[in-house]
Amino acid sequence: MPQLFHRGMNTLARLSIVIGLLVAGGGLMFVIEFNRTPYVTQAFQPREQPVQFSHKHHVGDDGIDCRYCHTTVETAATAGLPATKTCMNCHSQLFANSPYLEIVRESWRTGQPIKWTRVHDLPDFAYFNHSIHVNKGVGCSTCHGRVDMMPLVWNEASLHMEWCLQCHRNPNAVLREQKDITNMEWVAPKDHAEKGGAELAKKYNIQPKNVLTSCSTCHR
């Protein structure tokens, strides 16, 4: 019986398998990496807010502590969005006639809270609690970045699970003293994970890695 295909077709057939695998694998890689890009995670994208509130001005220029407004960050799961009264503590006198603050004054008159746009939105199946992080030495800027340099706030992190695990696998590298918790300029000193961080982990009684990375720590 004569050959249907030329002998060279064998190579081509084998090659097509390899190329097919490469294309499929490359496609997979592309999708995975694509999901990590800010295009998907929306990291570094400033969100429009109903009021042109600038963290850069209030934190960076005025030096107001994060906890002046986010009062519950040390005691509750959420850091808390300040009630309009907190704005009016100062803005009853400062920029009291500014049209930019009309939404704040309207909220003050009517008692309806301002509807801010959420920037950091974790999926609901991930349990997160601000207070445990803040009380155990994870500072604001570790996750939120230099908020004192953000006119409109964006998220610095992908909020992907791999991002959470970075720290949960090696918490020592980011731990700081309580006095530095809201310090925006804090950076870990050299060899922090081995020296100062390790000491702080002991002081804060940080759980071992297998507990920190256990599924039910975050998915409960």
Partner 1 sequence: MSKVEKSKVKSKKSKGKSMEDILTRKGRNSRQAFLIFAFCLLPFAFLSAACRQDMHDNPRYEANEDGANRQLPEGTVARGSLDLNPSAPKVTAQAAPVSAATPGVTAGATAPAAITGEDGFPFKVSKEILDRGESRYNISCLPCHGKLGDGNGMIVQRGFRRPPSYHDPRLKAAPSSYFYDVMTNGFGAMSSYTDQLTPEDRWKVAAYIRVLQLSQRANVAELGEDDKKKITEAAAPKTETKGGNNAPGGH
Binding of residue 103 to partner 1 (CB under 8 A) = no
Contact track, partner 1, 59-88, x by CB under 8 A:
---xxxx-xx--x-----xx-xxxxxxx-x
- Rank residues 37 and 170 by Cβ distance to partner 1 and give the closer one: 37
How many residues touch partner 1 (CB under 8 A)? 46
Binding of partner 1 by 194 (CB under 8 A):
no
Rounded CA-CA distance 33/18 in Å is 22
Instruction: State yes or no: residue 35 binds partner 1 (CB under 8 A).
Output: yes
The window from 25-33, 136-144, 191-199, 210-218 that contacts partner 1 (CB under 8 A) reads 25-33
Tell whether residue 44 is a contact of partner 1 (CB under 8 A).
no
Listed in sequence order, the DSSP H helices in the chain are 9-36, 38-41, 55, 66-69, 84-91, 102-110, 130-135, 140-144, 161-169, 196-204, 209-212, 215-218
Buried b (16+ CB within 10 A) or exposed e, 106-138: ebbeeeeebeeeebeeeeeeeeeebeebbebbb
Residue 82 vs 198, nearer CB to partner 1? 82
Among positive and negative, which fits the CA dihedral 2, 4, 9, 14?
A: negative
SS (H, E, C) 132-188: HHHHCCECHHHHHCCHHHCCCCCCCCCCCHHHHHHHHHCHHHHECCHHHCCCCCCCC
Task: For the CB of residue 93, give the shortest distance to partner 1 in the complex, in Å.
Answer: 5
Site string for partner 1, 105-134 (x = CB under 8 A): ------xxxxxx-x----xxx---------
Contacts to partner 1 by CB under 8 A? 1-2, 20, 23-24, 27-28, 30-32, 34-35, 40, 62-65, 67-68, 71, 77-78, 80-86, 88-90, 92-94, 111-116, 118, 123-125, 183
